[in-house]
Amino acid sequence: DTGVSQDPRHKITKRGQNVTFRCDPISEHNRLYWYRQTLGQGPEFLTYFQNEAQLEKSRLLSDRFSAERPKGSFSTLEIQRTEQGDSAMYLCASSKGQGLKGTQYFGPGTRLLVL
Amino acid sequence: GDSVTQMEGPVTLSEEACLTINCTYTATGYPSLFWYVQYPGEGLQLLLKATKADDKGSNKGFEATYRKETTSFHLEKGSVQVSDSAVYFCALDNNDMRFGAGTRLTVKP
Protein backbone atom coordinates (compact mmCIF):
# COMPACT_ATOMS: atom_id res chain seq x y z
CA ASP A 1 0.00 0.00 0.00
CA THR A 2 1.63 3.26 -1.13
CA GLY A 3 0.95 6.14 1.21
CA VAL A 4 0.78 9.85 0.49
CA SER A 5 4.07 11.15 -0.91
CA GLN A 6 5.36 14.70 -1.12
CA ASP A 7 8.23 16.23 -3.04
CA PRO A 8 10.58 17.80 -2.18
CA ARG A 9 10.99 16.95 1.49
CA HIS A 10 12.98 20.13 2.11
CA LYS A 11 13.24 23.42 0.26
CA ILE A 12 15.41 26.43 1.01
CA THR A 13 14.74 29.55 -1.02
CA LYS A 14 15.43 33.25 -0.97
CA ARG A 15 12.73 35.78 -0.25
CA GLY A 16 10.90 36.78 -3.41
CA GLN A 17 11.43 33.50 -5.24
CA ASN A 18 8.62 31.18 -6.33
CA VAL A 19 8.40 27.60 -5.07
CA THR A 20 6.23 24.65 -6.07
CA PHE A 21 5.48 21.54 -4.04
CA ARG A 22 3.95 18.29 -5.25
CA CYS A 23 1.67 15.84 -3.49
CA ASP A 24 0.74 12.35 -4.70
CA PRO A 25 -2.24 11.01 -2.75
CA ILE A 26 -3.18 7.40 -2.08
CA SER A 27 -4.38 6.18 -5.45
CA GLU A 28 -8.05 5.51 -4.74
CA HIS A 29 -8.55 8.66 -2.65
CA ASN A 30 -10.63 11.35 -4.33
CA ARG A 31 -10.08 14.04 -1.70
CA LEU A 32 -6.83 15.92 -1.24
CA TYR A 33 -6.00 18.51 1.41
CA TRP A 34 -3.17 20.98 1.99
CA TYR A 35 -2.17 22.17 5.47
CA ARG A 36 0.52 24.39 6.91
CA GLN A 37 2.23 23.57 10.19
CA THR A 38 4.47 26.00 12.03
CA LEU A 39 6.78 25.07 14.88
CA GLY A 40 4.93 24.10 18.02
CA GLN A 41 1.50 24.24 16.40
CA GLY A 42 -0.93 21.82 14.89
CA PRO A 43 -1.64 21.77 11.16
CA GLU A 44 -3.81 24.60 9.81
CA PHE A 45 -6.12 23.92 6.87
CA LEU A 46 -5.25 25.69 3.61
CA THR A 47 -7.35 24.16 0.86
CA TYR A 48 -9.18 21.04 -0.26
CA PHE A 49 -9.95 19.27 -3.54
CA GLN A 50 -12.55 16.72 -4.42
CA ASN A 51 -11.25 15.11 -7.59
CA GLU A 52 -10.02 18.08 -9.68
CA ALA A 53 -12.35 20.65 -8.13
CA GLN A 54 -10.98 22.99 -5.48
CA LEU A 55 -13.91 23.21 -3.08
CA GLU A 56 -12.65 25.25 -0.17
CA LYS A 57 -9.89 27.72 0.58
CA SER A 58 -8.86 29.10 3.95
CA ARG A 59 -8.33 32.79 4.58
CA LEU A 60 -4.71 31.76 5.25
CA LEU A 61 -4.36 31.13 1.51
CA SER A 62 -3.34 34.57 0.27
CA ASP A 63 -3.31 35.45 -3.43
CA ARG A 64 0.37 34.46 -3.53
CA PHE A 65 -0.67 30.85 -3.00
CA SER A 66 -2.24 28.71 -5.69
CA ALA A 67 -3.08 25.03 -5.72
CA GLU A 68 -4.07 22.78 -8.58
CA ARG A 69 -5.11 19.20 -9.10
CA PRO A 70 -5.52 19.09 -12.87
CA LYS A 71 -6.39 15.45 -13.42
CA GLY A 72 -7.78 14.63 -10.03
CA SER A 73 -4.64 12.74 -9.05
CA PHE A 74 -1.51 14.59 -7.90
CA SER A 75 -1.65 18.18 -6.71
CA THR A 76 0.74 21.11 -6.71
CA LEU A 77 0.96 24.02 -4.29
CA GLU A 78 2.78 27.10 -5.58
CA ILE A 79 3.87 30.06 -3.48
CA GLN A 80 4.83 33.15 -5.43
CA ARG A 81 7.10 35.91 -4.12
CA THR A 82 7.91 33.97 -0.96
CA GLU A 83 8.20 35.79 2.34
CA GLN A 84 10.02 34.76 5.51
CA GLY A 85 6.65 34.21 7.16
CA ASP A 86 5.95 31.43 4.66
CA SER A 87 8.59 29.27 6.36
CA ALA A 88 6.71 26.23 7.64
CA MET A 89 6.01 22.57 7.03
CA TYR A 90 3.47 22.08 4.23
CA LEU A 91 1.46 18.90 4.68
CA CYS A 92 -0.71 17.07 2.20
CA ALA A 93 -3.39 14.57 3.16
CA SER A 94 -5.86 12.45 1.22
CA SER A 95 -9.04 10.63 2.04
CA LYS A 96 -11.97 8.75 0.58
CA GLY A 97 -15.35 7.97 1.96
CA GLN A 98 -18.87 9.22 2.10
CA GLY A 99 -19.55 12.84 2.72
CA LEU A 100 -16.81 14.92 4.27
CA LYS A 101 -15.80 12.59 7.06
CA GLY A 102 -13.35 10.22 5.41
CA THR A 103 -10.26 9.67 7.53
CA GLN A 104 -7.33 11.74 6.31
CA TYR A 105 -3.92 10.16 5.76
CA PHE A 106 -0.95 12.48 5.77
CA GLY A 107 2.24 12.65 3.77
CA PRO A 108 5.66 13.35 5.32
CA GLY A 109 5.48 17.06 4.49
CA THR A 110 7.68 19.57 2.70
CA ARG A 111 9.69 21.79 5.02
CA LEU A 112 10.16 25.27 3.52
CA LEU A 113 12.74 27.75 4.75
CA VAL A 114 12.66 31.23 3.27
CA LEU A 115 15.87 33.19 3.85
CA GLY B 1 -15.94 28.32 15.29
CA ASP B 2 -14.87 24.80 16.04
CA SER B 3 -11.71 24.37 18.09
CA VAL B 4 -9.60 21.82 19.94
CA THR B 5 -7.70 22.43 23.16
CA GLN B 6 -5.19 19.91 24.37
CA MET B 7 -2.89 19.64 27.32
CA GLU B 8 0.26 21.67 26.98
CA GLY B 9 3.54 19.84 27.01
CA PRO B 10 6.10 18.78 27.17
CA VAL B 11 5.27 15.65 29.11
CA THR B 12 8.14 13.50 30.38
CA LEU B 13 7.47 10.04 31.78
CA SER B 14 9.49 7.02 32.78
CA GLU B 15 9.00 3.78 30.88
CA GLU B 16 5.94 1.81 32.05
CA ALA B 17 4.27 4.89 33.55
CA CYS B 18 0.61 5.71 32.84
CA LEU B 19 -0.18 8.38 30.29
CA THR B 20 -3.12 10.75 29.99
CA ILE B 21 -3.18 13.63 27.51
CA ASN B 22 -6.28 15.77 27.91
CA CYS B 23 -8.24 17.01 24.91
CA THR B 24 -11.43 19.03 24.88
CA TYR B 25 -13.30 20.42 21.93
CA THR B 26 -15.86 23.01 20.94
CA ALA B 27 -18.05 22.21 17.97
CA THR B 28 -21.59 22.35 16.70
CA GLY B 29 -23.22 19.11 15.77
CA TYR B 30 -21.45 15.77 15.98
CA PRO B 31 -17.83 15.88 14.85
CA SER B 32 -15.58 12.89 14.39
CA LEU B 33 -12.61 12.94 16.79
CA PHE B 34 -9.06 11.78 16.14
CA TRP B 35 -5.66 11.37 17.71
CA TYR B 36 -2.70 11.68 15.35
CA VAL B 37 0.94 11.01 16.27
CA GLN B 38 4.01 12.58 14.73
CA TYR B 39 7.32 10.80 15.27
CA PRO B 40 10.55 12.78 14.84
CA GLY B 41 11.18 13.60 11.19
CA GLU B 42 7.94 11.99 10.00
CA GLY B 43 4.45 13.05 8.96
CA LEU B 44 1.28 12.70 10.99
CA GLN B 45 -0.03 9.18 11.43
CA LEU B 46 -3.55 8.34 12.47
CA LEU B 47 -3.43 6.72 15.90
CA LEU B 48 -7.13 6.24 16.63
CA LYS B 49 -10.53 7.74 15.98
CA ALA B 50 -14.13 7.81 17.18
CA THR B 51 -17.09 8.95 15.15
CA LYS B 52 -19.92 9.15 17.67
CA ALA B 53 -20.60 9.66 21.36
CA ASP B 54 -19.40 6.89 23.71
CA ASP B 55 -17.30 5.29 20.96
CA LYS B 56 -13.87 4.17 22.15
CA GLY B 57 -10.99 4.31 19.72
CA SER B 58 -7.98 2.11 20.44
CA ASN B 59 -4.67 1.24 18.82
CA LYS B 60 -1.20 0.14 19.98
CA GLY B 61 -2.32 0.18 23.62
CA PHE B 62 -3.69 3.73 23.39
CA GLU B 63 -7.36 4.45 24.04
CA ALA B 64 -9.68 7.45 23.91
CA THR B 65 -13.42 7.66 24.53
CA TYR B 66 -15.70 10.21 22.85
CA ARG B 67 -17.45 11.96 25.75
CA LYS B 68 -20.11 14.31 24.44
CA GLU B 69 -21.28 15.37 27.89
CA THR B 70 -17.83 16.71 28.76
CA THR B 71 -16.80 17.44 25.12
CA SER B 72 -13.62 15.50 25.72
CA PHE B 73 -11.48 12.86 24.01
CA HIS B 74 -8.59 12.19 26.41
CA LEU B 75 -5.77 9.91 25.25
CA GLU B 76 -4.66 7.19 27.67
CA LYS B 77 -2.11 4.42 27.81
CA GLY B 78 -1.47 2.18 30.77
CA SER B 79 2.24 1.59 30.23
CA VAL B 80 4.29 3.79 27.91
CA GLN B 81 7.45 2.74 26.10
CA VAL B 82 10.46 4.73 24.90
CA SER B 83 9.19 4.21 21.35
CA ASP B 84 6.03 6.20 22.21
CA SER B 85 8.09 9.39 22.35
CA ALA B 86 6.46 11.69 19.79
CA VAL B 87 4.11 14.64 19.42
CA TYR B 88 0.42 13.80 19.80
CA PHE B 89 -2.32 15.86 18.15
CA CYS B 90 -6.00 15.80 18.98
CA ALA B 91 -8.26 16.74 16.06
CA LEU B 92 -11.88 17.05 15.09
CA ASP B 93 -13.57 16.82 11.72
CA ASN B 94 -16.85 18.66 11.40
CA ASN B 95 -16.80 19.35 7.64
CA ASP B 96 -13.46 21.03 8.39
CA MET B 97 -10.45 19.50 10.13
CA ARG B 98 -9.18 21.34 13.23
CA PHE B 99 -6.10 20.31 15.21
CA GLY B 100 -4.90 21.04 18.68
CA ALA B 101 -1.44 22.52 19.18
CA GLY B 102 0.13 19.15 19.97
CA THR B 103 1.63 17.62 23.11
CA ARG B 104 5.22 16.43 23.05
CA LEU B 105 5.77 13.21 24.99
CA THR B 106 9.21 12.01 25.99
CA VAL B 107 9.55 8.59 27.61
CA LYS B 108 12.81 7.88 29.41
CA PRO B 109 14.18 4.37 30.00
Question: Is the alpha carbon torsion for B75, B93, A37, A34 positive or negative?
Answer: positive
- What mean pLDDT is reported for chain B? 94
DSSP classification of residue A71? T
Q: What's the whole-number mean pLDDT along residues B37-49? A: 90
Q: How confident is the model at residue A97 (pLDDT cuts 50, 70, 90)?
A: low
* Between A73 and A2, the higher pLDDT residue: A73
Give yes or no for a contact between B23 and B100, defined as CB atoms under 8 angstroms apart: yes
Apex B42 CA angle, B39 and B45, nearest 5: 70
- The DSSP line for B36-100 is EEE-TTS-EEEEEEE-STT-EEEETTEEEE-BTTTTB--EEESS--GGG-EEEEEEEESSSEEE-
Per residue in B67-96, pLDDT tens? 999 999 999 999 999 999 999 999 998 877
Average pLDDT value for residue range A7-23: 97
Check CB contact of A44 with chain B, cutoff 8 Å.
yes
Q: What is the mean pLDDT of residues B40-47?
A: 88
Contact A44 B99 (CB under 8 A): yes
> Is some CB atom of chain A closer than 8 A to the CB atom of B45?
yes
Give residue-wise pLDDT tens across range A30-77: 999 999 999 888 999 999 999 999 988 888 888 999 999 998 899 999
**Under an 8 A CB cutoff, do A101 and B42 touch?**
no
How many C-beta neighbours within 10 Å does residue A24 have? 18
Question: A46-60, A98-112, B27-41 — which is least confidently predicted?
Answer: A98-112
Output A100 or A24, whichever has higher pLDDT: A24
**Percentage of chain A exceeding pLDDT 70:** 94
Q: Does A101 score more than 80 pLDDT? A: no
Judge whether residue A102 has pLDDT over 80.
Answer: no
Q: B95 to chain A: which residues are within 8 Å by CB?
A: 100
Whether A70 has its CB under 8 Å from any CB of chain B: the answer is: no
**Which chain A residues are closer than 8 Å to B51 by Cβ?**
101
Q: Residue A1's pLDDT is what?
A: 53
Dist. CA A31–CA A25, nearest whole Å: 8
Percentage of chain A beyond pLDDT 90 is 70
**Other Cβ atoms closer than 10 A to B56:** 10
Inform me whether the C-beta atom of residue A43 falls under 8 Å from chain B C-beta atoms: yes
Test B100 with A108 for CB contact under 8 angstroms.
no
β-strand pairing of A110-114 with A10-13: parallel
What is the per-residue pLDDT for B60?
A: 95
